[in-house]
């Protein structure tokens, strides 16, 4: 085996964000760019010698080339074994599962998740550790440190290896094991859910539309929902992964999954609608005529998870990211179980899950998951919903309205201001930061501020502290606004404004969310002075 050392690097700006390194595809295609990052990962974890990894991606443009390059590099760095999905495909939760089932040292996920794909769109890479979860901050900081001084990477001068057939292959002394992307993931799902019961639902005429958004969950959803559970052929749509996701954003929300939303709000709606994102870790849940916000979905799943075999013993606790609504806290309080508020990004749930402090986790951005893996898991959320519907014998709408009648409703919406000049977005954050101390007691657009702070997370397991994780302003009467800058964008800054208004069990739960949130929104616009600082008061996307 002839190891080739290529002099390259360092490249500027290889700092992992909320979920790995994301850049324009053309940036990743610059000679040595991907390779220097991967070599930095290997260097940061003490080398790859003798180690084993899982590698797979969501099938976007450059996925295949990136995987071939990573395989050569892993072999040149002395790795013993790499497990890779057939055709280079693996969903993020499937990578997490394989790392855990096979006991590998870690894994690399090629994806920019919900960001569009293509040569002029986005690409990404993320390193996961041996518990199957995204590398925590101390490790991503170490990787970044390596990227700043790297000057070469190791690879082999070998042809591409065939990833189209399942089975073992060899690359310069390293074992490459090509696996079917679905098999082991499906086996895990069968241990958690009552598949016979869900199959019975479909036998009884229950109808479903699952929109895979031309992304990686297509093959998983076809195999599990149609072939195994008996949903009629054609229930899963847009099921063939494409390099540019059919030209769309593979982001399962009412804006980007509009076709599904329109169907679900029409007379032709099936009983249940769902969608997943580029890499299969997000989910959107829609009932006939009713959209379930991700924050509500987490709360409903927490309240009903015991109906599925995998959670029959109850939950240890529930964790949510800070901007996610407080709906799940109310369920946790009633159940008398732990609840935690973490910074945005799944990497913060890993310690809580490993320590057995929580069983379910969720984020407002359509991510829900449990201790079965260490990532959020789109199809898992769909199956848990289906298991609950099968057991409860109620519609999505009934489950939701019953939930609100018991716990109250947390009206919720996220407003994204995209491609804002970086300095202007920072000016908004600075302005609100400077005022935090003075805000309590003041009135903005008729709303009295009850508390305001910059969120800092103290990890109860390892004691680490993560500061500046978003600015939060609470109002008397149950309103809350949160401001933070996205850590996954690739163009300018994306300013996220998260709005929430609690309505107690007796209140009206039938309002349009934007109407119910108008008071909190106006107060936030005044406090942050968005009109002056970024010249806009209307977001690009409301989800
Ligand atoms: C966004 C979401 C966050 C999520 C992250 C990765 O981050 O808000 O909740 O964990 O994407 O999701 P940000 O920093 O842009 O707000 V995914 O599906 O990319 O793995
Ligand atoms: Co994703």
pLDDT at res. 488: 86
Contact 110, 67 (CB under 8 A): yes
Is 80 exceeded by the pLDDT of residue 1? no
Q: Give dist(CA 46, CA 482) in Å, integer.
A: 39
To which residue do tokens 């919406």 refer? 413
Rounded to 10°, the helix 327-335/396-407 angle is 70
For residue 489, the model assigns a pLDDT of 81
Phi-psi region of 445 (alpha: psi -120 to 50; beta: other; left: phi over 0): left
The angle that helices 378-392 and 294-304 make with each other, rounded to 10 degrees, is 50
Share of the chain above pLDDT 90, in %: 97
Residue 45 confidence (pLDDT): 98
Residue 170 bears catalytic tag: no
**Whole-prediction pTM:** 0.96
Tokens of 504: 């107690």
**91-136: pLDDT as tens digits:** 999 999 999 999 999 999 999 999 999 999 999 999 999 999 999 9
Residues touching ligand 1 (Cβ under 6 Å) are 18-19, 113-114, 277, 281-282, 321, 344-346, 363, 365, 367, 486-488, 496
Give the model's pLDDT for residue 48.
Answer: 98
Ligand nearest to the CA of 134: 1
For residue 515, the model assigns a pLDDT of 97
* Closest C-alpha to ligand 1, atom 13: 486
Q: What is the pLDDT of residues 172-220, one digit of tens each?
A: 999 999 999 999 999 999 999 999 999 999 999 999 999 999 999 999 9
Task: Look at phi and psi of residue 68 and say left if phi exceeds 0, alpha if psi is from -120 to 50, else beta.
Answer: alpha
Q: How far apart are CA 208 and CA 125, in angstroms?
A: 33
Q: Provide the pLDDT confidence category of residue 41 given band limits of 50, 70 and 90.
A: very high
So what's the pLDDT on residue 100? 98
What is the per-residue DSSP string for 467-524?
----EEEEETTTEEEEEEE-SS-SSSEEEEEEEEEEE-TTS---S-HHHHTHHHHHHH
- Mean pLDDT of the chain, nearest integer: 97
pLDDT at 93: 98
> pLDDT tens for residues 290-338?
999 999 999 999 999 999 999 999 999 999 999 999 999 999 999 999 9
Q: In sequence order, which residues have a C-beta less than 8 Å from that of residue 295 and are 6 or more positions away?
A: 320, 324, 325, 327, 328, 362, 364, 410, 412, 500
Residue from 123, 345, 417 to probe ligand 1 pocket by mutation (most atoms less than 8 Å from CB): 345
The predicted structure's pLDDT at residue 238: 97
What is the average per-residue pLDDT within 460-488? 96
Decide if pLDDT at 439 tops 90: yes
Residue 136's Cβ-side half-sphere holds a number of Cα atoms within 13 Å equal to: 18
- Determine the pLDDT at residue 492: 87
Torsion of CA 378, 502, 459, 454, to 10 degrees: 120
Average pLDDT of the segment spanning 8-15: 96
- 490 pLDDT band, cuts 50/70/90, is confident
Distance CA 405, CA 494 (A): 35
DSSP state string for 425-480:
HHHHHHHHHHHGGG-TT-EETTEEEEEEEE--EE-TTT--EE----EEEEETTTEE
Q: Which of 52, 91, 113, 328 is catalytic?
A: 113
Residue 369 has pLDDT above 80, yes or no: yes
Instruction: Categorize the per-residue pLDDT at 283 as very low, low, confident or very high, splitting at 50, 70 and 90.
Output: very high
Give residue 366 CA to ligand 1 midpoint distance, Å.
Answer: 9
461-466: average pLDDT: 95
- From the CA of 277, the nearest ligand is 2
């Amino acid at each position: 085996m002839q190891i080739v050392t290529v002099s390259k690097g360092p490249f500027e700006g290889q700092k992992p964000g909320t979920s790995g390194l994301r850049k324009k595809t053309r940036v990743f295609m610059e000679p040595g760019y991907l390779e220097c990052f991967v070599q930095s990962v290997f260097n940061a974890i003490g080398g790859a010698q003798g180690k084993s990894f899982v590698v797979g991606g969501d099938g976007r443009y450059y996925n295949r080339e990136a995987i071939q390059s990573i395989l050569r590099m892993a072999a040149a760095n002395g790795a013993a074994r790499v497990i890779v999905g057939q055709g280079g495909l693996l969903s993020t939760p499937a990578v997490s599962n394989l790392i855990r089932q096979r006991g590998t040292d870690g894994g690399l996920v090629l994806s920019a998740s919900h960001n569009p794909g293509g040569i002029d769109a986005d690409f990404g890479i993320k390193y996961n550790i041996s518990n199957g979860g995204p590398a925590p901050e101390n490790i991503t900081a170490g990787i970044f440190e390596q990227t700043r001084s790297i000057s070469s990477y190791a690879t082999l001068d070998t042809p591409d290896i065939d990833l189209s057939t399942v089975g073992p292959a060899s690359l310069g002394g390293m074992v490459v094991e090509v696996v079917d992307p679905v098999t082991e993931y499906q086996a895990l799902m069968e241990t958690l859910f009552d598949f016979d019961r869900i199959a019975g639902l479909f036998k009884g005429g229950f109808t479903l539309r699952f929109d895979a958004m031309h992304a990686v969950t297509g093959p998983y959803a076809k195999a599990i929902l149609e072939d195994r559970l008996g949903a009629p052929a054609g229930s899963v749509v847009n099921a063939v992964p494409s390099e540019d996701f059919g030209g769309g954003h593979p982001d399962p929300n009412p804006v980007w999954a509009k076709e599904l939303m329109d169907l679900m709000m029409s007379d032709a709606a099936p009983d249940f609608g769902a969608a997943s994102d580029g890499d299969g870790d997000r989910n959107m849940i829609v009932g006939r005529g009713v959209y379930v916000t991700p924050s509500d979905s987490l709360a409903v799943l927490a309240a009903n998870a015991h109906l599925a075999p995998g959670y029959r013993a109850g939950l240890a606790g529930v964790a949510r990211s800070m901007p996610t609504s407080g709906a799940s806290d109310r369920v946790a309080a009633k159940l008398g179980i732990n609840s935690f508020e973490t910074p945005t990004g799944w990497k913060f749930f890993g310690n809580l899950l490993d320590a057995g402090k929580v069983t379910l986790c969720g984020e407002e951005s359509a991510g829900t998951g449990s201790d079965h893996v260490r990532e959020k898991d789109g199809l898992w959320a769909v199956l848990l919903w289906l298991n609950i519907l099968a057991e409860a014998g109620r519609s999505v709408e009934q489950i939701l309205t019953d939930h609100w009648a018991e716990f109250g409703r947390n009206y919720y919406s996220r407003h994204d201001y995209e491609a804002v000049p970086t300095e202007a977005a920072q000016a908004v954050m600075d302005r609100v930061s400077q005022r935090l101390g003075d805000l309590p007691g003041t009135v903005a657009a008729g709303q009295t501020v009850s508390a305001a702070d910059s969120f800092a997370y103290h990890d109860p397991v390892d004691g680490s502290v993560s500061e500046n994780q978003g600015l939060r302003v609470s109002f008397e009467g149950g309103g809350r606004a949160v401001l933070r800058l996205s850590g996954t964008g690739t163009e300018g800054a994306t300013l996220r404004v998260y709005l929430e208004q609690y309505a107690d069990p007796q209140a009206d739960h039938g309002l349009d969310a934007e109407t119910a949130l108008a008071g909190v929104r106006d107060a936030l616009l005044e406090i942050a002075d968005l009109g002056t600082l970024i010249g806009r008061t209307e977001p690009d996307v409301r989800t």
